[in-house]
């Protein structure tokens, strides 16, 4: 089971180098892509699959697609979704036809969420949230799985190319609901290629990698019949939990930041975060802080400081002992507040405009 | 694996008494149903599940449904399908709302039959054949799985109520395609109850019993939420192969009668059938024939002689040694020809009228 990550669970993953080797991921090389975004520049995006073909599509202005799914459960998203949207937006700005699907059939089968409820949630929150995070709805194809017959038929058709043992090898477990969800996801990822095969990229958090592997395995078998291009992937790390664990988890709400969230609450969480500070102010002034081990710095690096020079300056001031944790936390909380307020404003606007979006219909 | 019958395969089943015990089937009691049809009267229909509730629905003129599926592969059906249609027709004539679904998603996932091809086959042959065998299209709701969203959504929804181990226990095996086919079939069987729970009966050949068991297991778990009534079933025996094996199989075409089939070919097959005749004409005249062991008599009993007195007379004349096998085979071949010609005429007419049928749409 060494190769198994449970994409539905919340197991911690320790060693990204090791994971890359085990999953057969290639290293993300920043020089391949023009104008890399913040998380690409900062090694938050760290790996992928068949990235060359996407880089070539961008360079040669050839058609390709970028795709991601929304799981319409709850009324919050997490910072990992934000990273995904930022990568989607990057490819969108570099020519990708972008697809956003609402995984309502998956939510129905794996979580018992009724389709009507899923639709309400997606329209009232998830899709507006993705737009608030930077997705351009005018350049995006939206659909609900339940309303896309090609996806549904694809799920039935492609299921015959997968064995139960493969499910087990990829997911560690296989129950009927998960199998339905997974074959539907395979069909989602291949859907943009049904009319015309083309390269495509799926930006994911590393915990979603099993879906990519399964889809690529199936696609290899479908290639001769359909001419599909193997879908590429771009993989980002977790945003670590404020208590120092590798992944934010709802089970520890004090160390978990959701979107949207009350800015005041978030401030308290940041003030309590684990940092790379020393045991005493004196020692920190003498030895300097350790931003590499600091959850607050990670938040700045991954999410809150766009400008590289500004981030480098914070890093330097921390290392030199000039920027102490209290001050830094206050600054971070302030930036987070700004981000949350900006997100809320944009979310409000996107909610108002939701009727302008059209969806693929059965 | 003693309880496993593979409904997709063609394993022979020896002992109906034993099967009834193992599968928990109840004995079919003819006195429960008014005006029993030919195969009910002759113990071809031999078992079922929750038959009382259907008998009560008929008696009290309460709503209930009868349902069967068409697998749109090939351009022939077999005599087992004929038995199913005869039972459907029985319930239809006794007040059932009848459903015929075309299992095109099942054919797609388990056999790779494209939906368009499945549609063509169903419209050009399978549905007309069912009508030729006696189904009243004006009293029947027809649909294709791929065009019935409630069935598709039901498949996703109900899948969460089944474990992989149950699949294994029921089917002996479980691969993703079969799982998709089976959960879709569960949704088919429950579909007539989605708007309003009511009793329903699924007439099947005994090899289809696993689907019934799985559906009833799932339904038990869905009962509290949806109020579903457990679907009843009515089970018929195989039409034995002309070479004496328990079940007609395509692998032995000389002993297999399909619909439609060239009447001349069928005559040759019947002339070569295994009978209950003695080693010599002299001995047969002395000891009489053994209709219980005779494939030709079975064909007369199951399919070709409607009138009980006429069948009893054939039986008596065989047992007494007055009716010898050659003469009996000729008579049977003649009856079969009449049946096939009649079927062909009705098929032609039903094909012409196919455009009058309307289907449930997405």
SS3 content of chain B, % helix, strand, coil (to 5): 55, 10, 35
What sign for the dihedral angle of Cα B251, B252, B254, B255?
negative
Question: What phi, psi does A90 have (nearest 5°)?
Answer: -55, -50
Beta bridge partners of B200: B65
Residue A186 in contact with partner chain B when CB distance is under 8 A? no
Report the relative pairing of strands A140-144 and B140-144 from DSSP bridges: unpaired
Q: What pLDDT is stored for residue B251 in this prediction?
A: 83
What distances in angstroms separate CA A99 from CA A50, A128, A137, B224, one per listed residue?
19, 15, 10, 39
Residue B159 in contact with partner chain A when CB distance is under 8 A? yes
| DSSP assignment string, A220-254 | HHHHHHH-PPPPEEEEEPPPPPTTS-SS--TTSGG
Report the relative pairing of strands A65-70 and A359-360 from DSSP bridges: unpaired
Helix (H, G, I), strand (E, B) or coil at A74: coil
Residue B179 in contact with partner chain A when CB distance is under 8 A? yes
Pick the CATH number of B253-348 from 3.30.750.24, 2.60.120.620, 3.40.50.740, 1.10.240.10: 1.10.240.10
Helix (H, G, I), strand (E, B) or coil at A359: strand
Picking from A109, A163, A175, the nearest residue to B157 by CB comes out as A109
Q: In this predicted model, what pLDDT tens digit does every residue of B96-148 receive, in sequence order? A: 999 999 999 999 999 999 999 999 999 999 999 999 999 999 999 999 999 99
Domain ranges in chain B? 16-238, 253-348
Cβ neighbour number for residue B315 with a 10 Å cutoff: 19
Report the relative pairing of strands A77-78 and A232-236 from DSSP bridges: unpaired
Picking from B146, B164, B176, the nearest residue to A159 by CB comes out as B176
Picking from B115, B153, B159, the nearest residue to A153 by CB comes out as B115
Q: Tell me the C-alpha distance between A314 and A291, whole Å.
A: 9
- Let me know if B201 is exposed, middle or buried by CB neighbors in 10 A (0-12, 13-18, 19+): buried
Chain B residue closest in CA terms to A165 = B175
What is the full per-residue pLDDT of chain B (362 aa) written as tens digits? 334 344 433 333 458 888 899 999 999 999 999 999 999 999 999 999 999 999 999 999 999 999 999 999 989 999 999 999 999 999 999 999 999 999 999 999 999 999 999 999 999 999 999 999 999 999 999 999 999 999 999 999 999 999 999 988 888 878 999 999 999 999 999 999 999 999 999 999 999 999 999 999 999 999 999 999 999 999 999 898 999 888 888 888 889 999 999 999 999 999 999 999 999 999 999 999 999 889 999 999 999 999 999 999 999 999 999 999 999 999 999 999 999 999 999 999 999 999 999 999 98
Question: What phi, psi does B186 have (nearest 5°)?
Answer: -55, -45
Q: List the structure tokens of A289.
A: 């802080």
Picking from A146, A149, A157, the nearest residue to B108 by CB comes out as A157
What ipTM was predicted for this assembly? Answer: 0.92
Could you tell me which of A111, A104, A112, A97 has the C-alpha nearest to residue A70?
Answer: A104
Rg (CA), chain A: 21
Q: List the structure tokens of B225.
A: 């939420």
Chain B residue closest in CA terms to A105 = B156
Residues of chain B neighbouring A179 (CB-CB closer than 8 A): 159, 176, 179-180
Picking from B156, B167, B175, the nearest residue to A180 by CB comes out as B156
Chain B residue closest in CA terms to A164 = B175
Residues of chain B neighbouring A146 (CB-CB closer than 8 A): 149, 152-153
Is A163 within 8 Å of B175 when comparing Cβ atoms?
A: yes
What distances in angstroms separate CA B315 from CA A20, B30, B283, one per listed residue?
77, 21, 17
Residue B139 in contact with partner chain A when CB distance is under 8 A? no
Q: List the structure tokens of B74.
A: 């090939």
- Helices first, then strands: H and E counts in chain A: 16, 10
Residue B168 in contact with partner chain A when CB distance is under 8 A? no
Query: Fold for domain A16-238?
Result: Rossmann fold (3.40.50)
Helix (H, G, I), strand (E, B) or coil at B29: coil
Q: In this predicted model, what pLDDT tens digit does every residue of B317-346 receive, in sequence order? A: 999 999 999 999 999 999 999 999 999 999
Q: Which residues contact A44 (CB under 8 A, 6 or more apart)?
A: A38, A83, A236, A237, A301, A302
Could you tell me which of A62, A51, A101 has the C-alpha nearest to residue A235?
Answer: A51
Chain B nearest-CA distance from A277, in A, is 48
Is A163 within 8 Å of B155 when comparing Cβ atoms?
A: no
Q: What pLDDT is stored for residue A14 in this prediction?
A: 58
Could you tell me which of B202, B240, B213 has the C-alpha nearest to residue B14?
Answer: B240
Q: What pLDDT is stored for residue B14 in this prediction?
A: 58
Question: What phi, psi does A116 have (nearest 5°)?
Answer: -60, -45
Q: Tell me the C-alpha distance between B113 and A214, whole Å.
A: 23
Q: What pLDDT is stored for residue B169 in this prediction?
A: 86
Residue A167 in contact with partner chain B when CB distance is under 8 A? yes
Could you tell me which of A206, A208, A211 has the C-alpha nearest to residue A183?
Answer: A211
Residues of chain A neighbouring B152 (CB-CB closer than 8 A): 146, 152
Residue B174 in contact with partner chain A when CB distance is under 8 A? yes
| DSSP assignment string, B38-93 | HHHHTTSEEEEESHHHHHHHHHTT---EEEEEE---SS-EEHHHHHHHHHHHHHHH
Residue B194 in contact with partner chain A when CB distance is under 8 A? no
Q: What pLDDT is stored for residue A9 in this prediction?
A: 34
Q: What pLDDT is stored for residue B247 in this prediction?
A: 85
Q: What pLDDT is stored for residue A6 in this prediction?
A: 41
Could you tell me which of A126, B303, B23, B7 has the C-alpha nearest to residue B15?
Answer: B23
Could you tell me which of B43, B66, B59 has the C-alpha nearest to residue B198?
Answer: B66
- CA A40-A278-A301 angle, to 5 degrees, is 15
A260 upstream amide cis, omega within 30 of 0: yes
Cβ neighbour number for residue B231 with a 10 Å cutoff: 24
Q: Tell me the C-alpha distance between A78 and A130, whole Å.
A: 11
Q: Tell me the C-alpha distance between A286 and A277, whole Å.
A: 11
Picking from B105, B175, B180, the nearest residue to A164 by CB comes out as B175
B260 upstream amide cis, omega within 30 of 0: yes
Q: Tell me the C-alpha distance between A263 and A341, whole Å.
A: 8
Average pLDDT per block of 10 residues along chain A, 362 residues long: 38 69 94 96 94 98 98 93 98 98 98 97 98 97 98 97 90 90 97 97 95 96 95 95 87 91 94 94 95 93 95 95 97 97 97 96 88
Is A176 within 8 Å of B155 when comparing Cβ atoms?
A: no
Residue A271 in contact with partner chain B when CB distance is under 8 A? no
Residue B68 in contact with partner chain A when CB distance is under 8 A? no
Beta bridge partners of B305: none
Residue A260 · residue A279 · CB < 8 Å: no
Cβ neighbour number for residue A261 with a 10 Å cutoff: 16
Residue B221 in contact with partner chain A when CB distance is under 8 A? no
- CA A328-A333-A336 angle, to 5 degrees, is 125
- CA B11-B17-B19 angle, to 5 degrees, is 40
Chain A nearest-CA distance from B27, in A, is 33
Is A160 within 8 Å of B115 when comparing Cβ atoms?
A: no
Q: List the structure tokens of B65.
A: 């449904």
User: Which residue has tokens 């086959």?
Assistant: B121
User: Which helix or strand (DSSP H or E) is residue B210 part of?
Assistant: helix B209-226
Question: What phi, psi does A204 have (nearest 5°)?
Answer: -140, 160
Q: Tell me the C-alpha distance between B248 and B207, whole Å.
A: 12
Choose from A156, A214, A360 for mutation: most chain B CBs within 10 A: A156
| Predicted TM-score of the model (pTM) | 0.93
Q: Tell me the C-alpha distance between B309 and B316, whole Å.
A: 10
Residue A131 · residue A137 · CB < 8 Å: yes
Q: Tell me the C-alpha distance between A98 and A92, whole Å.
A: 6
What distances in angstroms separate CA B261 from CA A40, A263, B13, B183, B337, one per listed residue?
68, 77, 26, 34, 10
Could you tell me which of B273, B287, B295, B274 has the C-alpha nearest to residue B318?
Answer: B287
Q: Tell me the C-alpha distance between B227 and B50, whole Å.
A: 17
User: Which helix or strand (DSSP H or E) is residue B183 part of?
Assistant: helix B176-190
Residue A153 in contact with partner chain B when CB distance is under 8 A? yes
Residue B218 in contact with partner chain A when CB distance is under 8 A? no
């Amino acid at each position: 089971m060494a190769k198994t990550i449970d994409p539905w669970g919340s197991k911690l993953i320790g060693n990204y180098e090791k994971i890359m080797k085990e999953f057969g991921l290639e290293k993300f090389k920043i020089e391949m892509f023009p104008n890399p975004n913040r998380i690409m520049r900062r090694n938050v995006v760290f790996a992928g699959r068949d990235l060359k073909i996407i880089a070539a599509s961008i360079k040669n202005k050839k058609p390709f697609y970028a795709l991601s799914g929304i799981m319409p459960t709850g009324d919050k998203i997490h910072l990992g979704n934000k990273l995904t949207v930022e990568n989607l937006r990057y490819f969108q700005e570099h020519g990708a036809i972008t697809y956003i699907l609402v995984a309502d059939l998956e939510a129905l089968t794996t979580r018992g969420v009724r389709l009507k409820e899923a639709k309400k949630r997606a329209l009232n929150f998830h899709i507006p949230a993705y737009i608030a995070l930077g997705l351009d709805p005018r350049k995006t194809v939206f659909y609900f799985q339940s309303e896309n017959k090609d996806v549904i038929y694809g799920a039935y058709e492609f299921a015959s190319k997968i064995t139960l043992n493969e499910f087990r090898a990829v997911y560690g477990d296989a129950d009927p609901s998960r199998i339905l969800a997974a074959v539907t996801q395979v069909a989602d990822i291949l859907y943009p290629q049904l009319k015309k095969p083309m390269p495509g990229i799926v930006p994911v958090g590393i915990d979603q990698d099993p879906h990519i592997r399964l889809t690529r395995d199936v696609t290899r078998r479908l290639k001769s019949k359909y001419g599909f291009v193997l879908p590429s992937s771009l993989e980002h790390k977790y945003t670590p939990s404020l208590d120092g664990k590798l992944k934010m988890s709802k089970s520890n709400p004090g160390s978990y930041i959701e979107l949207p969230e009350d800015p005041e609450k978030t401030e308290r969480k940041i003030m309590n975060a684990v940092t790379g500070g020393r045991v005493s102010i004196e020692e920190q002034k003498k030895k300097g802080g350790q931003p590499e081990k600091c959850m607050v710095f990670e938040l700045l690096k991954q999410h809150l400081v766009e400008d590289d020079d500004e981030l480098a300056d914070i890093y330097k001031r921390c290392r030199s002992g000039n920027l102490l944790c209290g001050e830094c936390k206050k600054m971070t909380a302030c930036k987070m507040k700004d981000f949350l307020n900006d997100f809320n404003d944009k979310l409000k606007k996107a909610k108002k405009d939701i009727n302008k979006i059209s969806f693929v219909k059965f």
